Structure 1
Amino acid sequence: MEVKKLFFVVFLLSGTGLMAQKKQPSESAVQRAQKKEERREKINQLIKQEEEGALIFNKQNAFSINLNTDGWGLKFEKGKYKTITSTNLMWLEFGERKHPKEERIPTLSSSGGFILISNYIYGKQNNFYYLNLGFGQQKLIGGKGNKNGIAVSAIYGGGITAGLLKPYYLEVQNQQTGLREEIKYDGTNEALFLDPSAILGKGGLFKGFGEMKFVPGGHAKVALRFDYGRYNELLSAIEVGVNASFYSQKMPIILLNKEKNFFFNAYAAFTFGRRK
């Protein structure tokens, strides 16, 4: 009888030990629980900041697609937090500026028994690209604590710009040899360059990049940015504003039109990025 009691006590103690061992969580489970709790706390902090209307961060990186009234642009932006309402900005933007009188003309031609469909811009002398390096500030006007959940900021600044003129090539039919050839405007071939009956289409896509001409200048801009990102760490915004650029010489784009070195446009940009 004593042996049975002893066996029962040993069995009970061993079973209790096994249950205690099973209930003790593993180290990996503890780490997962800690990470989950940290994520929950981070989200709660972001929600609290959003409710308070402040954009709290150390830096931000963003990309923009710009739709300009005279062309298009792609921009990369870096921001450095300065105060609760102020951020220092630096941006690099590349784009193309188009003349308001550009007109794309379709053409049909034959080669080797095939019908070729092409197009060209009548009278175009140069493609006008630009590269802007700018510095400025973003000032918070209204935080996300309002009813529509949108942070509104004013952006202003300026910097240097590089105007890049790439010769625009046309494919024409040589009146003497009857052969196809690619030409650019050089001041002596204006009659051929502007003769629709001789033009077969535009030149090759990369033709003229090796002859690009650099023209220095400066630029400035002011804008409003409407940030509708879900949390403060996400930058999702629409930006609207105006740009002004001035170049050290007049920029020839379309023949038979007045050349100028000052350009002014409006733009809308779709901006997306992250804050840290």
Structure 2
Amino acid sequence: MLIKSISCFGAKLFNDGYGGFIEIGRGKSITKSLLFQLEISERKHPKEEKQNNPFAPTAPIIYGKQNFFYPVKLGVQQQFLLGNKSNKNGVSVTANIGGGISLGLLRPYQLEVEKDGERKFVQYDSPDSSLFLNGPFLGPSFSTGWKELTVTPGIYIKPAFRFDYGRYNEMVSAVEIGLTGEFYTKKMPQVIFSKQQQFFFSAYVAILFGRRK
């Protein structure tokens, strides 16, 4: 059966982070489809280590962390049908290969400290970074650092296999397993005193839900 359109959403778990995505596509033939995908994720550095805040019952602190790293990807994938469902309860298998642009968003990791009787948010590369030695009073906040957000352009490539176990051809209920390679135009600082990277390689597993028409 020729699929005219596909729309779905999903969540991903990387070996170094997590994310979510939306996807729309159009069938080109019975065995081929063209997919467009927007993905937002957060990537962790392997040297990140959470520690309880000894000064206040707040979110755990990651000593040495410089930036949160959020890759935002917009890309195209070609999907090839490898095995179709033998019945409505079967599993179809497809191979996906594609890529596109990736924008590396860096948001400074800031902690709230006290200086001259006032509390302020500082980061490791700020003039007040020495205040970390006296201990932060509060942990990081999701609302801080957005004004200092920086964007680094890059590209990515992604091969994957998708296993769709949806009961009917109109429904998408699938698991995807794949690899992702990302390259940025400059190095992405995440943790101090560690090697900064321009190229990131990771494996992932994703779940998808949606509809076909």
Q: TM-score scaled by structure 1?
A: 0.73
* AA aligned opposite 1:182: F
Match among 46, 58, 65 for residue 124 of structure 1: 65
Q: Distance in 1 between matches of 2:106 and 2:37?
A: 22
- Whole-Å Cα distance in 2 between the matches of residues 273 and 85 of structure 1? 19
Pick from 94, 104, 108 the counterpart of residue 153 of structure 1.
94
CA separation in 1, counterparts of 2:54 and 2:135?
A: 12
Match of 2:210 in 1: 273
- Partners of 1:257 and 1:131 lie apart in 2 by 23
Give deviations 1:123-157, integer Å, cap 9, x for gaps: 11111011101012110001111797110000010
Counterparts of 2:166 and 2:89 in 1: how far apart (Å)? Answer: 12
Match of 1:180 in 2: 119
Pick the aligned partner of 1:164 from 105, 122, 132. Answer: 105
Deviation at 1:238, TM superposition (A): 0.3
Task: Quote the offset at 1:57 in angstroms.
Answer: 1.5
Q: Quick one: distance in 1 between partners of 2:159 and 2:131?
A: 43
Counterpart secondary structure, 1:263: strand
| 2:23 corresponds to 1:77 | yes
Cα pair 1:251 1:260 within 8 Å, conserved:
yes
Deviations 1:201-221 (A, max 9, x none): 323321011211010000010
Structure 2 residue runs of 5 or longer lacking an equivalent are none
Per-residue deviation, 1:235: 0.6
Q: Secondary structure at the match of 2:100?
A: strand
- Secondary structure, in 3 states, of the residue corresponding to 2:124? coil
Q: Tell me what 2:199 maps to.
A: 262
Q: Which residue of 2 aligns with 1:137?
A: 78
Paired AA for residue 72 in structure 1? Y
> Unaligned stretches of 5+ in structure 1?
1-54, 111-115
Q: Name the structure, 1 or 2, with higher relative contact order (CA <8 Å, separation 6+).
A: 2
Q: What is the aligned length? A: 213
Change (3 A) 1:201 1:215: same
Selected match of 1:205 from 123, 132, 142:
142
2:156 aligns to what SS in structure 1?
Answer: strand
| Structure 2 equivalent of residue 192 of structure 1 | 131
In proportion to residue count, which structure has more helix?
Answer: 1
Q: 1:251-272: CA deviations, max 9, x gaps? A: 0000111101100000000001
Larger C-alpha radius of gyration, 1 or 2? 1
Identity value in percent: 45
Please give the root-mean-square deviation of Cα atoms over the aligned residues, in Å: 1.8
- Does structure 1 retain, via aligned residues, the 8 Å contact 2:50–2:63? yes
* Bigger strand fraction: 2
Aligned partner letter, 2:31:
T
Asked whether the 8 Å contact 1:66–1:72 carries over to 2, the reply is yes
